Each structure stands twice: as structure tokens, then as C-alpha cells.
Amino acid sequence: MNFDINNLVRDNVKVLKPYSSARDEFEDFDTADMVFLDANENPFSSGVNRYPDPQQASVKSILAKQHKVNSNQMLLGNGSDEVLDLLFRAFCEPKVDNVITLPPTYGMYGVLANINAVENREVLLSTDFQPQIEKIFNAIDENTKMIFLCSPNNPTGNSFSEESVTTLLEQFKGLVVIDEAYIDFSEKESWLEKMDQYPNLVITQTLSKAYGLAGIRLGICYASAEIISILNKIKPPYNVNELTQKRALQRLDDTNAIQSEIKLIIEQREELLKVLLHVNYVEKIYPTEANFILIKVDDANKRYDDLIAKGIVIRNRTTQPLCENTLRLTIGTESENKKLIEALQN
């Protein structure tokens, strides 16, 4: 497939001259003995009186090492939600272009499509929650810019078959965005390894789930250097703040802590799966590769209310397509899960 990203970029973005911040113009800004009088900052040192690095070089360099990619194949955002929004703004002409999403899935894709006045063509997953490739290709037209694949998928918990993802990557002429928010809980490989093979592959990850940093808001987009340079043109200059960059660096350095928490969460998930088998109103337990479990119950609204009354908040997914009477349970600590189990069994 001969793929030219320039065929996908919005015309206004193509000709856009990005805002150039003081810190963009002088890149080596943490050179220790320089005097910085260029950005109208308060000169009194507090750790955060200076604008943050707009390119987050330190965070990117550690991520680049850990994931074996180049820093120029990476864009960081204020959560993956910002990264996803930038993709819409770079590639989708409002009221002209469309994207494809595969419900039941993460609600933000549809919300972002609406905010950006981009048509969202929904192609339901199959009953076993896999992409329906033929239906997807029927929905695609010359204005289809992106397909969103959430794998492992929220709220179903499964990942998509390698075969269907590969078919889309090979045959769709727009961007295939794979949201890997839950990849660290899965035994499957990340699609990152295939990035050099597919010029239309975009992968998003986040520090919000396995990395335990939902509060700092840091999302990552991995893609070809060409795609990343387009996103860089339109991103707000200081979209990742200094406190976030510092905290992310600390955490990324502590790979042992991250891995041991992931391991504990997976152990708790397996425990909970066993218990759920014996809860009489649980009608189905969906296979999961994430830090949550989707279950089908007799009456989701009733079971949801019962749990709330016992002080336990879960997610009721009953209104989602193919998810009637389903509940999504996030895996907590061992003691939180004990409380959940007790409440489920009563």
C-alpha cells in the first residue's frame, strides 16, 4: 500500500504556522548558568516558576528506551483524551470527514467526534466482541480518516484478534488508532513492535491505568515521525505541566514497583473470577485481559443499586449495545475485593 500521510491531513493544518513559544526558540533551556529573561516568568525559584519543557524530552527519553522507539515517534498529552482529540483536529475536516468506532467501546471516541463535528460511523462488534471486518469496510468511504480499535477493549475486556487488526492495517487507507490503555494487563504483545511496518498505525497508551497515575494526566501517542510532526504543529505548547513531567519521571524509573502492582492486580482479578463463578445471579463472565471484569447478571440496575447501598461503586453498562444487564468491576486491592466479594455473596 502506498501511504502518504499528506493525503489525510486537513488543509488548514498543512499550511499552519505553529505558535512558537519562548522555550521553543531557545531549546537548551535547562543549561544551568544561563539567565532566562525571555518568557516573562517570575524569576524567584519555586521548582515550578519556569514554563515546562514543551517537548518533554526527559520523559520521552525514558519512554523511548523502555519501548524501543525514537523520541520523534512519540507525542505526550494531557491524558490520552487530549492525544485522541489532537488526532481529530489534525486529520478530520468538520462536517466532511468521518471516523469509525466499534461499540461497545470507550465513550470518548464518540464524544470527541461530536465535539469536532465529525461523523461517527458505529459498526457494532460481533457477539463475541470482535470487529466485523466486512461491515467495517462497507461503512468506509473516501472521507473515512480513522478507525478506533480499543484493545483490550473497554468495557468488554477482550483484545481484538491479530488477524482482524492486521487486515485493517493493510487494507484501510486512513489511520488505524489502537488504544492500548490496558495493554499492561494483557499477555498479548503491544502493537508498538509493528510500528515500522505500518505507516498508518497510531497507538495510544496512558499512565492512568497500570502505571497508577490517573491524577497527573499523561497520555502517549506513538506513531511514525511524520504523523507525530503533524500533531506537534497543533498541540498546545505547554500541554504537559511540570509537576506531571516530574512525577512521571519518578514513576517510570521505578519499573519494579509498577510490575509488582500489575502482578497483584492480575492475581486479584483471577481470584475474583473464581468467586464470580459461584454467585448465583451472575449469568456470564466475559474473558478479560484488563484490570476489570465485565459480567452479565439477572438485573443490572438492581444489582448496581444493591452494591451502592453497601458502599461499593461499580459501573453499570446495561445501556451499552450488546451489554444488556452487564456490570463492569474494576479490580481493587485485596481488601477492597474482599468487600466486593462479601457484598456480591449476600
Q: Is residue 79 involved in binding ligand PLP (CB under 6 A)?
A: yes
Q: Which stretch binds ligand PLP (CB under 6 A): 5-13, 39-47, 79-87, 257-265?
A: 79-87
The DSSP code sequence of 215-246 is GG--EEEE--HHHHHHHHHHS-TT-S-HHHHH
Cα–Cα distance measured from residue 179 to residue 307, given in angstroms and rounded to the nearest whole number: 30
Q: Is residue 56 involved in binding ligand PLP (CB under 6 A)?
A: no
The DSSP code sequence of 63-78 is HHHHHT--GGGEEEES
Q: Which stretch binds ligand PLP (CB under 6 A): 34-42, 78-86, 194-202, 270-278?
A: 78-86
- Residue 34 vs 214, nearer CB to ligand PLP: 214
Q: Of 51, 88, 91, 106, which lies in the binding site for ligand PLP, with binding defined by CB under 6 A?
A: 106
Q: Is residue 80 involved in binding ligand PLP (CB under 6 A)?
A: yes
Helix (H, G, I), strand (E, B) or coil at 146: strand
Binding characters for ligand PLP, 208-227, by CB under 6 A (x = yes): xx----x----x--------
- What residues between 281 and 320 interact with ligand PLP by CB under 6 A? none
Q: Which stretch binds ligand PLP (CB under 6 A): 9-17, 42-50, 127-135, 205-213?
A: 205-213
Cα–Cα distance measured from residue 213 to residue 221, given in angstroms and rounded to the nearest whole number: 17
- Residue 209 vs 317, nearer CB to ligand PLP: 209
Q: Of 81, 85, 184, 289, which lies in the binding site for ligand PLP, with binding defined by CB under 6 A?
A: 81
Q: Of 186, 206, 239, 291, which lies in the binding site for ligand PLP, with binding defined by CB under 6 A?
A: 206
Cα–Cα distance measured from residue 236 to residue 246, given in angstroms and rounded to the nearest whole number: 19
The DSSP code sequence of 155-174 is TT-PPPPHHHHHHHHHH-SS
Show the cell assigned to 215.
Answer: 491524577
With contacts defined by CB under 6 A, how many residues of the chain interact with ligand PLP?
13
Q: Which stretch binds ligand PLP (CB under 6 A): 2-10, 73-81, 304-312, 325-333?
A: 73-81
Q: Which stretch binds ligand PLP (CB under 6 A): 10-18, 141-149, 206-214, 321-329?
A: 206-214
Distances (CA, A) of 83 to 66, 145, 184, 220, 226: 20, 16, 19, 7, 16
Residue whose Cβ sits closest to ligand PLP: 79
- What residues between 166 and 185 interact with ligand PLP by CB under 6 A? 179, 181
Helix (H, G, I), strand (E, B) or coil at 293: strand
- Residue 154 vs 159, nearer CB to ligand PLP: 154
Helix (H, G, I), strand (E, B) or coil at 43: coil
- H or E element at residue 283: strand 282-285
Q: Which stretch binds ligand PLP (CB under 6 A): 9-17, 53-61, 76-84, 281-289?
A: 76-84
Residue 293 phi/psi, 5° resolution?
-130, 135
Query: From the CB of 268, what's the least distance to ligand PLP, in Å?
Result: 18
Helix (H, G, I), strand (E, B) or coil at 329: strand
- What residues between 119 and 158 interact with ligand PLP by CB under 6 A? 150, 154
Q: Is residue 39 involved in binding ligand PLP (CB under 6 A)?
A: no
- Straight-line distance from the first to the last Cα atom of the chain, in angstroms, rounded to the nearest whole number: 57
Show the cell assigned to 198.
Answer: 505500518
- Under the rule (CB under 6 A), what is the footprint of ligand PLP? 79-81, 106, 150, 154, 179, 181, 206, 208-209, 214, 219
